[in-house]
Amino acid sequence: MVEGRVHSFETFGLVDGPGVRFVAFLQGCGLRCKYCHNPETWNRQCGIRMNAKQLFDKAYRYRTYWGKDGGITVSGGEALLQMEFVTELFTLAKQHNVHTALDTSGGNFSLRPEYLEKFNKLMAVTDLVILDIKAMDSELHKELTGIKNGHILQMARYLSSMGKPMWIRHVLVPGFTDQKIELLELKEFIEDLPSVERVEVLPYHTLGCAKWEKLGFEYPLEGVRTPSEEEVAKAERLLGLKTERTMKPTKIGA
């Protein structure tokens, strides 16, 4: 079995997928989001080493709490950096009729045939993809995360073309991702993705500042405030979340 590197676990997650979830946060991420609240997950060489069966057995102990809607979510860091490991984990989950959700920023997605072969195997055992769209403008995305976003938007289109259920998340950062033109462009993009079931506006917060300081990093958004409830509601209106589609906005922390 492939070994993975796991950062931490949440045994009773309520926001990373439907129902009550066991959430595994994997180690390693290629993005450097300026508002990241888990910068300690960036380093791919850290974390707990374990194989998929060990992780599944740990998660499955909590199955009595999941009910008919819950299950296992794999997050990060960036879970797609460990695709084979996640595929093995989700394969075990589906053998036990457990709902699987992948929480990703899509940062390393590619249409290269060798990548898609692995990606499609993962999607075959993934019930839901929770995709973070940080920004629509590519230069703004690069400013916030260190990379442009063309391949991430490409991933969203690819998932929708295969009919894969998706939740879209957008972190609302005052002065960056709260601009009207940005939100309207995101709305237009999402409207062309038939498989999107839910959209969430996540208010930016500063809970990760202490972690940046502990790691010796200078926090790049020092002085940026959290958005008000009114600003979050305005963003939700601009995104057109109250539509006839099944989008159900939920206000939670990023």
CATH of residue 127: 3.20.20.70
Q: 181: exposed, middle or buried (C-beta count within 10 Å: 0-12, 13-18, 19+)?
A: exposed
pLDDT at 185: 97
Report the chain's terminal Cα–Cα distance, integer Å: 32
Whole-number Å distance between alpha carbons of 3 and 172: 35
Residues 158-195 pLDDT 10s: 999 999 999 999 999 999 999 999 999 999 999 999 99
pLDDT above 60: residue 254: no
Whole-number Å distance between alpha carbons of 53 and 82: 15
Helix (H) or strand (E) holding 183: helix 180-191
Residues of the chain above pLDDT 90, percent: 91
Structure tokens at 210: 């202490």
Q: How many residues does the chain have?
A: 254
pLDDT at 169: 97
pLDDT above 80: residue 248: no
Any domain includes 116: yes
Sheet holding 3-13, edge to edge: 48-51, 3-13, 21-26, 71-75, 99-104, 128-132, 166-172, 196-203
Any domain includes 30: yes
Contact criterion met (CB below 8 Å) for 212 and 243: no
Residue with tokens 């917060």: 205
Mean pLDDT of the chain: 93
102 vs 78, 133, 225, CA distance in Å?
10, 14, 29
In the three-class reduction of DSSP (H, G, I as helix; E, B as strand; rest coil), residue 39 is classed as helix
User: Which is more confident, 210 or 93?
Assistant: 93
Overall average pLDDT of the 48-77 stretch: 97
Structure tokens at 24: 């595994």
Domain count for the chain: 1
Any domain includes 244: no
Q: Which residues pair with 49 in a beta bridge?
A: 5
Strands (E) in 105-208, as ranges, are 128-132, 166-172, 196-203
pLDDT band at 241 (very low <50, low <70, confident <90, very high): confident
pLDDT at 1: 84
pLDDT band at 205 (very low <50, low <70, confident <90, very high): very high
In the three-class reduction of DSSP (H, G, I as helix; E, B as strand; rest coil), residue 128 is classed as strand
pLDDT at 216: 94
pLDDT above 80: residue 243: no
Task: Kindly write down the DSSP assignment for every residue of 9-25, as one continuous string.
Answer: EEEEESSSSSSSEEEEE
pLDDT band at 253 (very low <50, low <70, confident <90, very high): very low
Residues 1-16 pLDDT 10s: 889 999 999 999 999 9
Any domain includes 247: no
Whole-number Å distance between alpha carbons of 177 and 179: 6
pLDDT band at 249 (very low <50, low <70, confident <90, very high): very low
In the three-class reduction of DSSP (H, G, I as helix; E, B as strand; rest coil), residue 210 is classed as helix
User: Which is more confident, 42 or 243?
Assistant: 42
Residues 104-162 pLDDT 10s: 999 899 999 999 999 999 999 999 999 999 999 999 999 999 999 999 999 999 999 99
In the three-class reduction of DSSP (H, G, I as helix; E, B as strand; rest coil), residue 159 is classed as helix
Q: Which residues pair with 13 in a beta bridge?
A: 21
User: In which domain, by residue range, is 93 found?
Assistant: 3-238
Any domain includes 86: yes
Any domain includes 191: yes
Any domain includes 250: no
Any domain includes 251: no
